[in-house]
Amino acid sequence: MRIIVAGGTGVVGREIVAAARARGHEAAGMSRATGADLQTGEGVASALRDAEVVIDAVSVATMDAETSTRFFRRSTQTLIDAARRGGVRHIVALSIVGVDRNPHGYYAGKVAQEEAYQAGDAPFTIVRATQFHEFAGQVARQARFGPLQLAPRARVQPVAARAVAEHLVTVAEGAARGRTSDIAGPREEELSAMIRAWRRHRGERGPVLTVSLPGAQMRGMRQGLALPDADARVLGPSFEDWLSAQPINAGRAGR
Ligand SMILES: NC(=O)c1ccc[n+]([C@@H]2O[C@H](COP(=O)([O-])OP(=O)(O)OC[C@H]3O[C@@H](n4cnc5c(N)ncnc54)[C@H](OP(=O)(O)O)[C@@H]3O)[C@@H](O)[C@H]2O)c1
């Protein structure tokens, strides 16, 4: 089956391309780096040529609700229109557990993305996952100011991006279902402690300050709004086991 991964150069996108190929599918990533821009539409139709399934793993690095909403509305509509024109039979979209309980900041855009799929005319399945183990590194990079590392507090139950990727490929192989079970990792963790452990693993030095970031999205995460419900599907490994298997000095651990 030919699978195109929108955002295929990102943290989870790379894993999806690899997981799909490992299952014997013909898979390719699509992003600005490969000449397809979901904001302008440029290069999207040709990237989707002969695609049977699209997996949507695009993202924008922002905590601003308006920026996020504008980005996801546009990228989702571009994908829906191109998929319909190209005869794609199924779009699998990756969302985040609890976004509708906490529709602020970046998550406002994820809610808009889900709504666009629900209102659109392309067959879709939305899978919500919790934060990735790799999220510790993503947040750490954004919260570094010279030698000072901020470690924001949040309650999370993280899952490995690779496990999410394998699950998404399984969903992609099936029929469009609208919405399917949420997925989560095996244990609740404190994000600030994950960031400290991630830095220790990489041998990074310097001051680390645990902080409560302002804003409704991070407040909601401290209150546990990003934690999965009891019926979520749990996928290993734990953060600790995942981290100990990451290369120590590759400079890319956690990506
Ligand atoms: N990170 C987490 O913990 C987490 C947890 C659960 C769900 N998710 C969801 O998983 C998805 C992927 O997240 P991620 O953390 O893997 O993202 P990421 O590493 O930031 O990657 C984002 C991807 O989007 C592409 N992209 C950005 N702007 C684009 C544009 N205008 N046109 C085409 N492609 C564009 C980027 O490639 P180019 O720069 O080459 O365009 C990149 O491949 C998101 O929907 C996110 O909400 C993330």
- Contact between residue 248 and residue 131 where contact means Cβ atoms under 8 Å apart: no
What's the rounded mean pLDDT across residues 174-203?
98
pLDDT score of 254 more than 60: no
Separation of CA 146 and ligand 1 centre (Å):
25
pLDDT tens, residue by residue, 199-222: 999 999 999 999 999 999 999 999
Mutate to test the pocket of ligand 1, among 31, 38, 54, 131 (most ligand atoms within 8 A of CB): 31
Q: What's the pLDDT score for residue 249?
A: 61
Residue 252 — pLDDT band, cuts 50, 70, 90? very low
Q: What are phi and psi of 32, to 5 degrees?
A: -60, -35
Q: Considering only CA atoms, which residue is closest to atom 14 of ligand 1? A: 11
Q: Rounded to an integer, what is the distance from CA 87 to the centroid of its chain?
A: 25
For 2-244, give the CATH class.
alpha beta
Q: Considering only CA atoms, which residue is closest to atom 4 of ligand 1? A: 131
Domain ranges of the chain: 2-244
Mutate to test the pocket of ligand 1, among 4, 12, 63, 74 (most ligand atoms within 8 A of CB): 12
Q: What's the pLDDT score for residue 248?
A: 80
Q: What are phi and psi of 164, to 5 degrees?
A: -60, -45
Amino acid (1-letter code) at residue 20? A
Residue 253 — pLDDT band, cuts 50, 70, 90? very low
Share of the chain above pLDDT 70, in %: 97
pLDDT tens, residue by residue, 16-46: 999 999 999 999 999 999 999 999 999 999 9
In angstroms, rounded to a whole number, what is the distance separating the alpha carbons of residues 220 and 213? 11
pLDDT tens, residue by residue, 221-246: 999 999 999 999 999 999 999 999 99
pLDDT tens, residue by residue, 93-150: 999 999 999 999 999 999 999 999 999 999 999 999 999 999 999 999 999 999 999 9
pLDDT score of 250 more than 60: no
Q: What's the pLDDT score for residue 215?
A: 96
Separation of CA 11 and ligand 1 centre (Å):
7
